[in-house]
Structure 1
Amino acid sequence: MLEIRDVTRRFGKNIAVNGVALEIPQGQMVGIIGRSGAGKSTLLRMINRLIDPSQGSIFFDGSEVSALRGSTLRRWQRDCAMIFQQFNLVPRLDVLTNVLLGRLNHRSTALNLLSIFSREERAQAIAALERLDIARTALQAAGTLSGGQQQRVAIARALMQQPRMILADEPIASLDPLNAKVVMDALQDINLREGITVITNLHTLDTARAYCSRIIGMAGGKVVFDGAPEELTRDAVRMVYGADGDGSEISEAITSTSIRVHKPKLPASAGPLQPALERL
């Protein structure tokens, strides 16, 4: 059980997260939605302890995560893997080595300094890449891959940590719809097969509804919605996203990742080619 107890985070006079209280049982797949600046990324970074709460506390299985220091903090960051929007790979290193870096908090400092990985660790890394259908890129420099491929490498690296929880901060924000589906399918598969808690920030309502059993909506640093996908009604969406500048309801189309194919209208002068073009 992850418990977030009245957590607030301030940056100067700005309150990024304001009195958030949540309980997330082991094994849930949770989507956090909201406008940019709603506090979603700040909340995940506090859970992972990349930043500290200004007040409040965070517990996992009865241990106060927000009070951890030194080696116990490193163990928590091993158990709570983080996946970022910008992948955070080392571009000049090959894919296999990037995945093996997920083992750093499991190993001695000497082995890490010498970059010595066992045959078993290498086999585990290849298995993680095969699971994500990207093993063929193992010896390529990570920087040569597409965005969707790099995000799958980042997920493989997270699996190498053998985590108890995965936090994904806008993992599909920079991806096209097809790659976004591949990445979300991978996170859902990890959640269902391993029972690992997955908490992911998302901009897209259709993605949250399709993949998450629980959706948390944030606005102005506060939780304004917490429920099942079917409970995310028009009124709930308005609480999360507000209204457009003219006061009208926000359109869900602007948060959609759906693929839409639009056929261009052909001019009447297209001549004998028109029937053939219309069949394309």
Structure 2
Amino acid sequence: MLILENVTRRFGSFAAVENVSVQIPQGQMVGVIGRSGAGKSTLLRMLNRLIDPSDGVVRFNEVQVSSLKGAALRNWQRDCAMIFQQFNLVPRLNVLTNVMLGRLNHRSTLLNLAGSWSRSERAMAIMALERLGIAQTALQRAGTLSGGQQQRVAIARALMQSPKMLLADEPIASLDPLNAQIVMDSLKSINQEEGITVITNLHTLDTARTYCERVIGMAGGKVVFDGPADQLTADAVRMIYGAEGEDLSEGITSTSLGSSGGTESIGSLEPAA
């Protein structure tokens, strides 16, 4: 169980995230949606401790994540793997080596300095690439791959950490609709087959409804919606995205993935009479 209690992050006098309290059971797939600047990325970075909360507490089971330091913090960042919008691969290294870098926190400093990898680590990396359908790219330089392929390499690298939780910060924001669907299908498969908690930031409403059993909507650094995707009414969507009256159309929050039979209209969000 991941627990956030009154978590706040300030930058000077500005609160990027303000008094967020949520509980996320193990094995959920959660989509965090909202406009740019709503606080989504700041929230995920606090979970991974890339930045520290200004106030509040983050707990995972019996561990107070927000107070970890040193080796304990490195172990948490190993267990709480992060996938970024910009992939963060080493372009000049081949794909296989990029994926094996996910094992660094499982190895001794001496082995890491030597840059040697065991047969079992290589086999594990190949299996991760096969799972994501890109094993054929193993010996290519990462910088030669398409954006969608690079994001799948980043997911394979995250799997090499043997994480308990997977955080994805706008994983499809720079991808075309087809590659976006492939990446989201991969994250959903990992969640369902491995039971790994997946928390992903998304700009798009249709993607959240299609893939996430739970949606957290943020606006102005605060949680304004938290519930099942099928409870996202038109009023809730307008509150998250800041639209008024009839100004909001599904098109402005859509990637047109089409994986659930096409994009729904905003009218489909209205509760039945």
Say whether the fold is shared (TM-score over 0.5). yes
The SS at the match of 1:103 is helix
The SS at the match of 2:105 is helix
Q: Which residue of 242, 254, 257 corresponds with 2:255? A: 257
What TM-score do you get using the length of structure 2 for normalisation? 0.93
Q: Indicate how the Cα distance of structure 1 residues 192 and 102 shifts in structure 2: closer, same or farther if over 3 A, else same.
A: same
Within-5 A mapping of 1:136-147: 136-147=136-147
Within-5 A mapping of 1:186-265: 186-243=186-243, 248-258=246-256
1:64 aligns with 2:64: yes
Question: Between Structure 1 and Structure 2, how many residues are aligned?
Answer: 258
Q: CA deviation at 1:95?
A: 0.3
Distance, in Å, in 2 between the alignment partners of 1:215 and 1:88 is 26
Distance, in Å, in 1 between the alignment partners of 2:145 and 2:177 is 17
Any runs of at least 4 consecutive aligned residues in structure 1 with deviations exceeding 6 A, and if so which?
none
What is the one-letter code of the residue matched to 2:146? Answer: S
Q: CA deviation at 1:249?
A: 2.8
Q: Indicate how the Cα distance of structure 1 residues 102 and 208 shifts in structure 2: closer, same or farther if over 3 A, else same.
A: same
Contact 2:181 2:257 (C-alpha < 8 Å) held by counterparts: no
TM-superposition CA deviations, 1:25-53 (whole Å, max 9, x none):
00000000000000000000000000000
Within-5 A mapping of 1:99-118: 99-118=99-118
Q: Which runs of 5 or more residues in structure 2 are unaligned?
A: 259-273
1:174 aligns with 2:180: no
1:51 aligns with 2:51: yes
Within-5 A mapping of 1:126-141: 126-141=126-141
Contact 2:95 2:139 (C-alpha < 8 Å) held by counterparts: yes
Q: Which runs of 5 or more residues in structure 1 are unaligned?
A: 261-280
What TM-score do you get using the length of structure 1 for normalisation? 0.91
Contact 2:207 2:257 (C-alpha < 8 Å) held by counterparts: no
The SS at the match of 1:184 is helix
Q: CA deviation at 1:243?
A: 1.3
Distance, in Å, in 1 between the alignment partners of 2:134 and 2:109 is 29
What is the one-letter code of the residue matched to 2:222? Answer: K
Contact 2:2 2:61 (C-alpha < 8 Å) held by counterparts: yes
Distance, in Å, in 1 between the alignment partners of 2:234 and 2:18 is 24
Q: Indicate how the Cα distance of structure 1 residues 200 and 259 shifts in structure 2: closer, same or farther if over 3 A, else same.
A: closer
Equivalent position of 1:73 in the other structure: 73
Q: CA deviation at 1:259?
A: 5.7
Distance, in Å, in 2 between the alignment partners of 1:112 and 1:248 is 57
Equivalent position of 2:36 in the other structure: 36
